Amino acid sequence: MVQSARYLTLAWPGLPWLWLRGSAAGLVLATAFAIVIDTAILTTFIWTELVDLQVAVGLWTAAAAIWIVATVSAVSAFPPALPSGRDATVDAMFIAARDAYLSRDWLSAESKLRAALELAPTDGEVQLLLATLLRRVGRLDEAREAIQKLSRSDAGATWRSAIVRELDLLGRRTERSMAGGSGVSAESGSGGTTLARAA
């Protein structure tokens, strides 16, 4: 059902890349098609006396050409679905990253988490641990960006309470940084406790 619903995006030029990937090029194409089709409708049915028939026919022809070219292009290069499950490889990488995190081996943990996100970019647990790690090492802007990205995604729905807690800890950490304190020791163990379980 979900897989077949993805193909409904082919009905509007640019929508497969805009909806499924958030592509700026998809947005430009979808907007351009909307402008052409709206102008064609207005000149054909509403402002008939303002525009010659040849112009209206030309607009409809342009709209049809854009639709055909974009649809054929989209069918030939339809964006594949983003993987949503966690396979054994990603699971093993997450466990290794979690263990490195708990051992305070920040570099190893981060590299393993980023590698896991390459294979499973929608894995909320991996994203949350990465955001927590970034906060713990003091990269507050990156941590805030990572946690906000997770909160906007479907994968973040499972982790709402942890996201709220992370944002609260980030806010407190930022206030302490602005006040001149480091605040690292006060947060010891608070960031990854919920993620310390075996996957």
CA 132/CA 190 separation, integer angstroms: 9
CA 97/CA 193 separation, integer angstroms: 14
Q: Which domains are seen in the chain, by residue range?
A: 2-76 (no CATH), 88-195 (1.25.40)
Q: What percent of the chain has pLDDT over 90?
A: 25
Q: How confident is the model at residue 112 (pLDDT cuts 50, 70, 90)?
A: very high
CA 122, 126, 129, 131 dihedral sign is negative
Q: Using alpha carbons only, what angle is made at residue 113 by residues 98 and 131, rounded to the nearest 5 degrees?
A: 85
Query: From residue 77, how far is each of 74, 136, 189 by CA, in Å?
Result: 5, 41, 46
**pLDDT: which is higher, 16 or 116:** 116
Mean pLDDT, residues 53-57: 86
Whether the predicted pLDDT of 155 surpasses 80: no
| Tens-digit pLDDT profile for residues 70-82 | 888 877 776 555 5
Averaged pLDDT score across all residues of the chain: 80
Count CA atoms closer than 13 A to 86's CA, side-chain side: 16
Q: SS3 for 189?
A: coil
Would you give the distance in Å from CA 141 to the centre of its chain? 18
Q: Which one-letter amino acid corresponds to residue 15?
A: L
Q: How confident is the model at residue 192 (pLDDT cuts 50, 70, 90)?
A: very low
pLDDT of residue 13: 87
Read off the pTM.
0.50
Mean pLDDT, residues 62-67: 90
